Structure formats: structure tokens, C-alpha cells
Structure 1
Amino acid sequence: MDEQRLIETALRLSKSLTPGDLDHTLSRITAAAVEVLPDVDYASITVRHADGRLETAAPTDDMLLGLDAAQYELQEGPCYAAATNAVHVASPDMATDTRFVRYAAVAVAAGVRAQAGIQLFDAPKSQGALNLYSRNVGSFADFGALGQLFAHQSAAVIDYAREIQSLQEAVRTRTTIGQAVGIVMERYKLTDQRAFAFLTRLSQDGNVKLRKIAEDLNATFAKGN
């Protein structure tokens, strides 16, 4: 890809990849992949959780749920490789790719002739890869610079969305615990410090997260008990 086209693609990407909550962000990434990247007919994102479980997010077509699931089950394919141990995997001709013989039959039967997987993020608790599918043989044969550009910009908006989500969760947790502290203060005539200490002790003794203790207490109080 020449420099001018790369610059034009970068501008289109910056307009397409608008940050939002995490689910919205992932959906925008797959939609932008189909809209902006050459020869991409479908896209999805594979998330590998800390326990090793693989999950498909934001598919642009429901057909991809079956294709991604086949890769997880067979433990082969560009999608699986990029989500588990590779940064960038491309298969311009699935029908002749000897790396993914079992999965290739599934892909070709579904009309997918070329495929690529690009690692998007590698966080302590999860890994993520962008899965690109094409109906045309020869797609993704020369995908280096553009793939890296897309992955870099996508990772940036994912990081932003994760940060916003963490902040929102922190605010919700603080509000939930604050409500529970207020209930304990009123019921047992305690100061806010002693009420918080009471909840903390319940959390430690029961080996239950403080937020869960607070949620249960708030729910019980809401029922009038």
C-alpha cells in the first residue's frame, strides 16, 4: 500500500473508530473493518478470558458465530491462532492452507476463501484478536502495514473504553457501598467509620467481596426487611 493511501485510510479509521462503552467500541471496530479495509466481507473479535475460555464479540454476521466456534473447538485457524499465541496470521487461500486443514473445510463450505487474524490487545486478564473474513481467494496476501495501523488504532480506542468502564464501575461500587454504610449507620446507630468497618468484617469473615455484601444488604433493605 502506498503512503498516500495509508494516510487516507488512517483518516477514515479515525472517523470510524469512535470511543464509547466497551460493547459499542468492539462493534464499531468490526463494522469499521468491513467498511475501511480492502476485501473484508465479515469481521468479529475473539476474546480469550483468563480461564482460557474463548468468546466471540461483535460479529458483523451471525454466520461468524459458527465459524469462530469451529476454530475454538478444533483449536486451529487464523482466529484461534491470533487470540492465543500469534500477533498476525493470514491465510490468503484457505482451501490450500496446510496449517488449518480441518477448519479450512468448514470455512470454504461457508463461502470464506481467505482469512486473517490480528491481535488487538494482550491484557493481564484477557487477550483479544480481530478476525477478518473474505469471500475472495488472495485477500490478505499483503496486509502488513494496513493491518498494523488498524490494530494500533483499534487498541487505542479499546484502552479508552476499558478505562471509562473501569471508572464507571468504580463509581457504581462506591455508590453501592455508600448506600449500605448508610443503612448500617441508621439501623445500628453507628458512625460512618464503624459502619464501614462492620461491612468490611462481614466481607472478610465470609470471604465475599465488599460490593456483593453491600448489594445484598441494599436489596434486603429495599424489600423492607
Structure 2
Amino acid sequence: MSFDRDVDLHTLAGLRRRVEALTADRATRHRDDLVTGVLRAAVEAVDGADGASLTRTDPNADAPDRATDDEIAALDAVQISVGQGPCIEAADHPPECGLVVAADLGGADHDRWPDFAEHAVAAGCRSVLSLRLGVEERHRSSLNLYGRRHHAFDATAQVAALLFGVPAALLLHGADHADDLQHALGSRDLIGQAKGILVERFGVHGDHAFAMLVESSQNANMKLVDVARWLVEETVANRSHEAPTTS
């Protein structure tokens, strides 16, 4: 493909400003706010986009899908439900460039994903760009841009989406791993509290207390952290009931 140099420079300058704004905004330190900012910036950066979404196709993903409005969220949900659509293809089986283009869901692209296309056209959506972001199993995802017009995304818009996807993927990758780290730290604290309760209750050493938690986890077919959480919550509740009341 060939592009006019001035158009490319203008597009790059706009993308740079939006990425700088995302990284400078302190609100984006929180993952949910970051995703909202990324979606908003994507709509502003790519001509033809009327809305956007971030879709995760792994049913065990910790983070939920997000969209700029309820109609787009519903179209994402349809794709997940019927197991077809550009967001599914981009996340799970993307082309080499990572970008899936649906130029006209009411026309030539209808037969690629017929079940989804019917819902999309009925909702007033004719074009979709879907770009793979996360590649790890638990963070597998796509950034999706929705357009009301058919052929809403020309070649320049497609390049803009690809360029925007690079910093967006890096930002979301960092946010996902920060969440994973925070979750791991929280789990460690819970397990530590549960070990302390068992040490106090049964007079055992820390290693023995941990072994008791592991055995309970296996017997109950529960995650270790869930067993620890249950024990801590039960102990706190019992202590609150046993606390003397003052008159």
C-alpha cells in the first residue's frame, strides 16, 4: 500500500499526542480507567470509528470486556455467544498483520460471520476493525472499532489502528501484569494470615500450618487462596461474635 506522506505525518502526530495523554494521565494507573482511556483515544485516533471495545475470548479471564457503550458491548457479547466475528478472529486466529477488517457486514462480509453480521446490521453497525492485543492465554484480547457506515475504515484508518495498537498493547500488558502482581500479593497475605491462625489455634509450626492448608485445599477441591480466605473470614466472624459488649 502507498500513502500520502502528509497524511501519514498528520496521523502519526495525532497518535503521538493521544498516547502521551494516556501515559501522562494519573487516572490511567488503574486498569479499568486505562482501558476506558484507550478505547476513547482509539475512537478519536481512527477516522470512521463510532465506538470501540476490548474483548477477551478466554472464559477464565479475570478482567471483563469493556466497551464505549451498551450497544457495542451487546455486539461483543453476540460474537462470544455464537463463537464467530471479527473480534474472535483477531484474538484467536489473526492474520499475519494482526488486523481483521469487516468492510461491509451487510454486503460482501456477511457470509464470513453470518450470525454476527445479522445482529450487527440490525444494530446499525456495518464496519468493524479488530486488532489483536494480548497474546497470553489469560490476557488474550482484541481491540475493536465499530463504524455505522459500510467501508468506514479506509487504508489510512487501518494503518492508524495498527499504529495505535502497539502502545495500547504495551500499556494494557503492563496493567494486566500489575493486576496479577497485586493479586499475588493479596493471596500471599491471605495465606500468611491463615497460617498464623492455625499456628495460634493448634500450636504448630508455620510449615506444618501451610501443609494443613494444602491438605484442606486438596480435600475440598478448592484453590489454596480460597481455603485461606474462608478460614480468615470465619475466624474474624467468630471473634466478632465472641467480643464482649459494653453497656
- Which residue in the other structure is 1:132 paired with? 145
1:2-81 matched pairs, under 5 angstroms: 2-16=8-22, 19-49=28-58, 57-81=65-89
Kindly tell me the number of residue pairs found equivalent between the two proteins.
Answer: 223
* Contact map agreement 2:128 2:145 (CA 8 A) in 1: yes
Gap change, CA 1:223 and 1:78, over 3 Å in 2: same
1:188 to 202, 219, 237: 202
TM-score, normalised via structure 1 length: 0.86
1:145-167 superposed Cα distances (whole Å, 9 cap, x missing partner): 31221111111111111111111
| CA–CA distance in structure 1, aligned partners of residues 78 and 181 of structure 2 | 36
2:119 to 100, 106, 115: 106
Which amino acid is the alignment partner of residue 108 of structure 1?
V
Which amino acid is the alignment partner of residue 77 of structure 2?
A
| CA–CA distance in structure 1, aligned partners of residues 205 and 11 of structure 2 | 65
Gap change, CA 1:78 and 1:203, over 3 Å in 2: closer
- Which residue in the other structure is 1:96 paired with? 107
Gap change, CA 1:79 and 1:194, over 3 Å in 2: closer
| CA–CA distance in structure 2, aligned partners of residues 200 and 67 of structure 1 | 43
Q: Give aligned-pair identity as a percent.
A: 30
| CA–CA distance in structure 1, aligned partners of residues 41 and 222 of structure 2 | 41
SS across alignment from 1:46: strand
Gap change, CA 1:33 and 1:218, over 3 Å in 2: same
| CA–CA distance in structure 2, aligned partners of residues 88 and 126 of structure 1 | 18
2:91 equivalent to 1:83: yes
| CA–CA distance in structure 2, aligned partners of residues 56 and 131 of structure 1 | 15
| CA–CA distance in structure 2, aligned partners of residues 39 and 212 of structure 1 | 46
| CA–CA distance in structure 1, aligned partners of residues 113 and 207 of structure 2 | 60
| CA–CA distance in structure 1, aligned partners of residues 158 and 210 of structure 2 | 54
SS across alignment from 2:40: helix
CA RMSD of aligned residues (A): 2.5
* Contact map agreement 1:89 1:118 (CA 8 A) in 2: yes
| Alpha-carbon offset, residue 94 of structure 1 | 2.6
SS across alignment from 1:131: strand
| Alpha-carbon offset, residue 205 of structure 1 | 4.3
- Which residue in the other structure is 2:245 paired with? none
TM-score, normalised via structure 2 length: 0.79
1:24-79 superposed Cα distances (whole Å, 9 cap, x missing partner): 3322221221232212111112111166x9x9722111111332233334443322
